Amino acid sequence: MIAVYLAPVYILVNVYILWRLFRWLGTISDKLKNKKVRIPITLIYTFFATSMLTGFLSPKGNSERILKLIGNYWLGIFLYTVLVAIVEEIIFLILRRTKKDSRKKKIVFGAAGLAAIASISLWGMINARTIRTTEYHVAVDKKVEGMTSLKVALVADLHMGYNIGCSQMKQMVEKINALNPDVVVIAGDIFDNEYDALEDPEKLIEILQGIESKYGTYACYGNHDIAEKILAGFTFGGQTDEKVSDPRMDSFLEKAGITLLRDEYVMIEDQIYLYGRPDAERPGRGIRERKTAEEITENLDLTKPVIVIDHEPRELQELADAGVDVDLCGHTHDGQLFPGNITTGFMWENSFGYLKKDDMHNIVTSGVGIFGPFMRVGTIAEVVSVEIKLGQVP
């Protein structure tokens, strides 16, 4: 299990960071080398550094929720602490080589590093809680009687659980309703693995029932809509060969007025196909292997528009070749945290935003919620408005 092998690395990096902190404090004043200073700092640091594990091991209740939330904040702070420490080590190495090292510079650079960590972390926390609206306009050269356009509100990666609760969902619903959409689609990762992590299921259902649209709300499941426990991004105790959602998740969506599409389609005004794909990694209960792109459209009337919801932006060429007109996805979070938004570009043909693949329009949203670190740096939480012009040349 990879988490077991990474644990010693995590411990050693934290020891190194704590050692660097004490070294910097000792540079400021000899009085800060005192055990009366170092012991409380060590205890406080250890509390935050182990909060993910203590939350994971805690019995269900408020203490578990608080510890897991602290642990998720800590993950982001830890990431930027490591990055800042690396930059500072490079700077100090250059200064030593050029013989321009000094006590004053060490103090200044140390203070600047702490300020950078605090500023980035605080901004990331605020940014993760702020949902923006992004608009796209695409054209599909297929006529629909009595309809010149279809406005779709796309959201994904809600990750409702220990991090994302009623406040974020209320903001999302308000953003969706402000768009006055014809149809709302949720492209997977509605839950954050553990159903019991939901802040208040009944209240969340009530909030999601407030989504307003002309033709309804539809969803597909993602790779986190599954009954598994999570520790620092690693899952435990789940199925290895088949993704199985908690039955309460299905019931939750039904009560919330959200139609779950499992490798199936619905018709909008009997003229537009809306197809929901199972997750690519583990398709789901009752679905061992999801249909191929070709199988999706083989029995469809391709003179009519075909819109696909797929959690991960995979098989873009195959979907385009099969006659799909619009493919709506999530999953990537646009990297969520810098420099992740740079690396995801190497992992996906379209990791975020818009891509035209032959005659097909692919749109990938960065999502509403977050996974793991409760921060967004260099990315945004968003509700996406997709206006599809019908009967026009793409």
pLDDT digits (tens, 9 = 90+) for 216-226: 999 999 999 98
Examine the domain organization and report whether 255 and 160 are in the same domain.
Answer: yes
Alpha carbons 190 and 223: distance in angstroms, whole number: 10
CA angle, residues 162, 163, 169, in degrees to nearest 5: 110
Contacts of 208 (CB under 8 A, 6+ apart): 169, 173, 217, 256, 257, 258
Q: What is the mean pLDDT of residues 340-348?
A: 92
Quickly state the pLDDT bin for 2 (edges 50, 70, 90).
low
* Residue 349 confidence class, pLDDT cut points 50, 70, 90: very high
**Residue 102, pLDDT score:** 83
Compute the distance between CA of residue 240 and CA of residue 250 in angstroms, rounded to an integer. Answer: 21
Looking at the structure, tell me whether residues 246 and 289 fall in a common domain. yes
- Domain extent for 121: 2-127
pLDDT in tens, 43-77: 999 999 999 889 888 888 888 889 999 999 999 99
| Same-domain status, 177 and 196 | yes
Q: Domain check: are 209 and 239 in the same one?
A: yes
Question: Of 127, 149, 170, which marks where a domain is finished?
Answer: 127
**Are residues 121 and 58 part of one domain?**
yes
Asked whether residue 92 carries a pLDDT value surpassing 60, the answer given is yes
* 85 and 137 within one domain: no
Residue 40 sits in the same domain as residue 111: yes
CA distance 270 to 326: 17
- How high is the pLDDT of residue 61? 81
In angstroms, what CA-CA distances link 228 with 160, 181, 243, 280? 14, 34, 10, 17
Q: Flag whether pLDDT at 288 surpasses 90.
A: no
239 and 206 belong to one structural domain: yes
Q: Are 367 and 223 in contact (CB under 8 A)?
A: no
Q: Of 87, 102, 127, which residue sits at a domain end?
A: 127
Tokens of 33: 């080398």
pLDDT-derived band of residue 99, with 50, 70 and 90 as boundaries?
confident
Question: What's this model's pTM, rounded to 2 decimal places?
Answer: 0.92
Is the same domain home to 188 and 219? yes
Residue 239 pLDDT grade (very low, low, confident, very high; cuts 50, 70, 90): very low
Q: DSSP assignment, residue 18?
A: H
What Cα–Cα distance (Å) separates residue 318 from each residue in 90, 315, 340? 46, 5, 27
When divided into structural domains, the chain yields a total of: 2
**Whether residues 237 and 345 fall in one domain:** yes
328 in Cβ contact with 307 (< 8 Å): yes
Is the same domain home to 107 and 228? no
The CATH code of the domain that includes 150 is: 3.60.21
Average pLDDT over residues 228-248: 64
Considering 127, 151, 173, which residue would you say is the last residue of a domain? 127
pLDDT tier, 82 (very low <50, low <70, confident <90, very high otherwise): very high
Say if residue 162 is in the same domain as residue 29. no
